Structure 1
């Protein structure tokens, strides 16, 4: 009875993010979760699910960690909130900024805090435009993103996103954004050629920054060619353009490195982060800037920096993040992500060998994807009417596995990002359930 009451209250009062309002009103919420433990979630009816997406790519250390609850409790009892405006400060934010600087690559040593990924990317865009303005080049405003990139749903971050569906809801919210081709399946040379063409067409003297994810997450877990990011760096250096690396998904161990860009020996000018910094236990994000940018800000800024959020540097969020990073390091979860990611990819490769509808498979650490096609050898897609991707997701859900579908250019992509604490046995269960599910759907389609 209580569950039915909650269903009705949900339909009446809760507008869900990135959801079908019509479907919610017809059916109510798909599931009402009750609790989490490790890599598992349990709903109100007692059904257990393997959270193979870390919810939204973010529960890196797993569900139900009492250490983070205790860190929050202790900080709330001591200092629940204090503003960081007007140079007010407090110890948790100072310590967290120092810690992030210590683990970030190269000379990225100063941190601006936000409440999440969209705010982080929004802030990075404003900071690079401010950087050029105080350097006497206010015409450098344009941001180049990549097609299939996802950077958030605030005004500028929506415009930086390269997935058209996110523009269609309310249109482009801000100006001076454009997109180059993703290198995925295009290759490094075509990707760099598209980026160079975009720079020269828009005018290098008007470009503030290139913005890219080390791995394009919501676009379908798109992994760049080995040399692509280094060539992006060289190209941007050639034209004097800054680089923003969006590490919102890839940061804090997800790819088997503390930051995803470390897989390619690539150093940007700014890093944006969120999600895994607190493993989703409390909202927090931020921007890490290079010493060069920080020095320019210190030397040339006049008066107040008119940008900040009420919860920038929230003391409780900072305390939780510090404990979260401590656990990632103490439990060697970055290395576990690397090892278990290799196990997961090996399982995906066996699927590719054994199932006709499995095309490209890929993973870096515990961030991976499996592509499904009518005939991968002939690059033949399924008809959208068949709903193959959603059918796989629904069948996995019925088998107690939560993951995420993406459909792009006719290809159905199943995405995976399990918590970094996942074990070898649990990876094997995940792959076995996936194999069995895809095989049954393949047989049903009579491929």
Structure 2
């Protein structure tokens, strides 16, 4: 037993002597194993509470949360309607097997499909976004009788077996245990793989590239194309006009299903209920998590088109989870979606992006040569930082580390990834909070960083 094990039981004199920030850090260091990290040098930020767009530690230091944690707290921290919904469900029934029928589960599913396109009437609930993508892949393979799944190199789809291999970034490489995955390049005009200079050319050449991959892999072997509607962790990569429409057309041409991953961008993040609504495209399967209940209770799922759902009317679906449709998660979905509707939260995200955040970030780009590009919509933006605007060379990791430190020192909680600051506040963010954050970004970018 470690020293901390013997000194941290509630009520001991050592507990009393330790500040809660220090106690939290010691317990974390001794017992918590963190994701995507070498454990030895970690010193995570201590968070004790939150409300709206702010969080604080045990000593009362408050941060403006422009990360939404992992881009999931769309409704803000501790929204009273969602807390109330969870409490009321906990007092009624805390858990029940997924094989049963439960009112909260049915109500949650109905609220989700009511916001989905026509022809989607069933929801398979999971514990989060990774297993949502995992099960969507399973459904696509069973529906088509094919095996291969195509996804982009610049993508993130989760950390379960097939989902992590569908992911395009470095995290898939030590985890490639799943079969049947092929990657291709999606559009990213600022760093075009296709030598394009206009959105039209980028779209045209990216679609040509995808079709050649389909043909080269053998179209009759491909079950699905899996795409984030807007790649998030990879850089808030806004698809050029016509790209998703073109992907849909290629899928139709070759009898391939289209799975759109809305885990990060769904339920208000882009100022729409679903990000793909901006393209007019209807996929075959939609995966979700994060924003559907702002992560108050772990949950995700697959919204299933009627044609695919019908496959399993008489055939057993070979998948399931103990906590599929967990009542507390279902109650949080019902409460969150109702509150977002009643309070105009999705509309607020759209307005903030168009009228406040977008123009503010554009003004920063005009002022600071270190900003190569600003892109996004709603409350989903990225500032891409470069050492040289002409060459577009990314700033060094040490620069990004300093930027993160300087932002935290000014009480702004950032989302920093590679050479980018992702500007992703909750959908409930106010004009004044955006102005506060923009002033902090401005102050930090004025420093001698290069």
| Fold shared per TM-score above 0.5 | yes
Q: Where does residue 426 of structure 1 map in the other structure? A: 433
Query: Does residue 1:277 correspond to 2:288, yes or no?
Result: no
Unaligned runs of 5+ in 1: 133-137
Of residues 16, 25, 35, the one that matches 2:34 is 16
Q: Does 1:293 align with 2:308?
A: yes
Counterpart of 1:392 in structure 2 is 403
In structure 2, distance between residues paired with 1:444 and 1:368 = 22
Shift of 1:64: 1.7
Q: Distance in 2 between matches of 1:233 and 1:68?
A: 36
Give, in whole Å, the separation in 1 of the partners of 2:235 and 2:86: 34
Q: How does 1:315-334 map to 2 (within 5 A)?
A: 315-334=327-346
Q: 2: CA distance between counterparts of 1:173 and 1:221? A: 28
- Per-residue deviation, 1:383: 4.2
1:243 and 2:258 matched: yes
Aligned to 1:135: none
* 1:405 maps to which of 401, 405, 416: 416
Determine if the alignment matches structure 1 residue 345 to structure 2 residue 336.
no
Contact persistence 2:415–2:424 (CA under 8 A): no
Helix, strand or coil: the match of 2:265? coil
Distance in 2, Cα, partners of 1:6 & 1:116: 26
Aligned residue in 2 for 1:167? 172
Please list every run of 5 or more consecutive structure 2 residues that lacks an aligned counterpart in the other structure: 1-17, 193-201
Residue by residue, what CA displacement relative to the aligned partner does 1:149-206 show, whole Å, maximum 9, x if unpaired?
A: 1000001000000102x123x3302010011102111321221122111111111000
Normalising to structure 1: TM-score of the pair? 0.91
What is the distance in 2 between the residues matched to 1:163 and 1:381?
17
Q: Is the 8 A contact 2:288 2:302 kept in 1?
A: yes
Counterpart for residue 378 of structure 2: 365
Question: What are the within-5 Å matches in structure 2 for residues 35-74 of structure 1?
Answer: 35-74=49-88
2 CA distance for matches of 1:195 and 1:401? 40
In structure 1, the residue matched to 2:13 is none
SS in 1 for 2:390: helix
Q: TM-score, normalised by structure 2?
A: 0.91
The runs of at least 4 consecutive aligned structure 1 residues that moved more than 3 Å come to 380-384
Task: Identify the residue that residue 19 of structure 2 maps to in structure 1.
Answer: 2
Q: State how 1:152-163 maps to structure 2 within 5 Å.
A: 152-163=158-169
Alpha-carbon distance in structure 2 between the residues aligned to 1:341 and 1:48:
24
SS at match of 1:21: coil
Instruction: Tell me the distance in 2 between the aligned counterparts of 1:263 and 1:66.
Output: 31
2:232 to 207, 217, 220: 217
**Paired residues of 1:149 and 1:162 also in contact (CA < 8 A):** yes
1:328 Cα deviation after fit: 0.5
Distance 1:322 1:49 in 2: 29
Give the C-alpha shift of residue 308 in structure 1.
Answer: 0.6
Question: 1:271, 1:340 → 2: CA distance?
Answer: 26
The SS at the match of 2:158 is coil
Within the candidate set 268, 285, 291, 2:283 is matched to 268
CA, structure 1 residues 383+241, in 2 after alignment: closer, same or farther (shift >3 Å)?
A: same
Is the CA contact (8 Å cut-off) linking 2:185 and 2:206 kept in structure 1? yes
**Which string of whole-angstrom CA distances, capped at 9 and with x for unpartnered residues, describes residues 204-236 of structure 1?**
000000000111111011111011000000111
- Structure 1 residues 444 and 382: CA distance shift in structure 2, 3 A: closer
Distance 2:394 2:327 in 1: 50
Decide whether the 8 Å contact of 1:145 with 1:160 is kept in 2: yes
What residue in structure 1 maps to residue 180 of structure 2?
176
Alpha-carbon distance between aligned partners in 2 of 1:389 and 1:339, rounded to the nearest angstrom: 29
Cα deviation for residue 378 of structure 1 reads 3.0
Contact 2:68 2:74 survives alignment (8 Å): yes
Root-mean-square deviation over aligned CA pairs: 1.3
> What secondary structure does 1:23 align onto?
coil
- For residue 195 of structure 1, what is the aligned residue in structure 2? 210
Q: Deviations over 1:274-302 (max 9, x none)?
A: 0011111111110001111112332xx43
Aligned residues, how many?
420
Alignment partner for residue 94 of structure 1, among 77, 89, 106?
Answer: 106
Distance change (3 Å), C-alpha of 1:5 and 1:112: same
Instruction: Tell me whether 315-324 or 103-112 shows the greater mean CA deviation.
Output: 103-112
Q: Does 1:151 align with 2:157?
A: yes
Q: Does the 8 A contact of 1:158 with 1:173 survive in 2? A: no
- The superposition leaves residues 291-318 of structure 1 with CA deviations (integer Å, 9 ceiling, x where unpaired) of 11112332xx43x322111110111211
CA distance in 2, matches of 1:259, 1:122: 20
Distance 1:217 1:444 in 2: 25
Please say if residues 106 and 267 of structure 1, whose CA atoms lie closer than 8 Å, have aligned partners that are also in contact.
no
Query: Is 1:306 aligned with 2:318?
Result: yes
| Cα distance in 1, alignment partners of residues 436 and 396 from structure 2 | 30
Distance 2:46 2:431 in 1: 29
1:414 aligns with 2:418: no
Q: Secondary structure at the match of 2:41?
A: helix
